Amino acid sequence: MLEIILENAGKQYNEDWIFNNLTHTFLSGTATVILGSNGSGKSTLLQVVSSAIMPTSGSIAYIMKGNPVRPEHAFRQMAISAPYIELIEEFTMTEMICFHRRLKPLVRNMTTQELIKICQLEKNADKPLKYFSSGMKQRLKLALAIMSETNVLLLDEPATNLDKAGIEWYNDLVRKNMNNRLVVVSSNSVDEEFGFCTAQIRMEDYKKAPAIELSAFQY
């Protein structure tokens, strides 16, 4: 089981602080939602949690069974679905799942055909992904992440491009496969995305820039 600990973490781009002074411990078996409007830094925080980028200030630590884990090793324990992560559109759905399974195994040794059935897209198994609708692509992205054999599940705005039936499908799938996992959802307050979460981080609470050390300029 993996724990992720942020201590006074902040991320800065140029002169702008995306967030700052954020302390939070993500525990296995819990689900946390990161809430904020568009452009508030939700995706940036999720990328910090995933170790894709490092915080500018403060620290992030990955702990497994009481022992520290290097970020590149922790990443192997994570599955992520996000709008900025693209599928390989020249692949068919079958080829995409087979490629993914070589990187991250699926739960319960699930076969490619079983995952296609879970997506409810059996008729499209051999269709190139470039011909999929945005909703079909989102189903596949979510299924690949949720059904991966990982300790951590990161979902960035998971209801994007899903209709009502797709949102119900997503909630059913994640609820059935979140036990004992560390789950983090990024959402701009779309209730259907995070109803199963028991903890929350509001980005607006971490927008204050760090104080400037005036002593360094005194003579």
The answer to whether 122 and 115 are in contact (CB under 8 A) is: no
Bridge partners of residue 92, in order along the sequence: 128
Are 82 and 43 contacting, i.e. CB atoms less than 8 angstroms apart?
yes
Indicate which CATH number applies to the domain containing 112.
3.40.50.300
**Residue 114 dihedral angles phi and psi, to the nearest 5°:** -65, -40
Collect contacts of 64-67 with beta carbons under 8 A, ≥24 apart. Answer: 64/1, 64/2, 64/3, 65/1
User: Which residue is associated with the tokens 């599940």?
Assistant: 153
Tell me the percentage of the chain whose pLDDT exceeds 90.
87
Q: 156-181: per-residue pLDDT in tens?
A: 999 999 999 999 999 999 999 999 99
| Residue 183 parent element (H or E) | strand 182-187
Q: Is residue 34 part of a domain?
A: yes
The position carrying tokens 């269709």 is 127
Whether 199 and 210 have beta carbons less than 8 Å apart is answered as: no
Mean pLDDT confidence for 184-204 = 94
169 domain residue, yes or no = yes
Helix (H, G, I), strand (E, B) or coil at 20: strand
Give the C-alpha separation, 154 to 90, whole Å.
Answer: 25
Locus of tokens 């993500």: 26
Q: Which pLDDT score, from 0 to 100, does residue 61 have?
A: 97
Q: pLDDT tens digits for 68-89? A: 999 989 999 999 999 989 999 9
Whether residue 118 lies inside any domain: the answer is yes
Q: Check if the beta carbon of residue 181 is closer than 8 Å to that of residue 152.
A: yes
Residue type, 123: K
> In the prediction, which pLDDT does 219 show?
41
- In whole angstroms, what is the distance from residue 200 CA to residue 144 CA? 25
Which tokens in the block code for residue 199? 């903890």
| Dist. CA 213–CA 6, nearest whole Å | 23
DSSP 148: B
Per-residue confidence (pLDDT) for residue 143, from 0 to 100: 98
Residue 218 belongs to some domain of the structure:
no
219 in a structural domain:
no
Q: Rounded to a whole number, what is the largest CA-CA distance in the chain?
A: 74
Write out the residue range of the structural domain in which residue 87 sits. 2-213
List, in order, residues 6 or more apart from 108 with CB less than 8 Å away.
Answer: none
pLDDT for 217 equals 41
Looking at the domain assignment, is residue 186 inside a domain? yes
Between residues 104 and 213, which one has the greater pLDDT? Answer: 104
Three-state SS for 6? strand
Q: How many domains does the chain fold into?
A: 1
Compute the average pLDDT of residues 196-214.
82
Domain contains 24? yes
Instruction: Please report the pLDDT score of residue 72 as a whole number.
Output: 87
With respect to residue 45, please indicate whether it lies within any of the assigned structural domains. yes
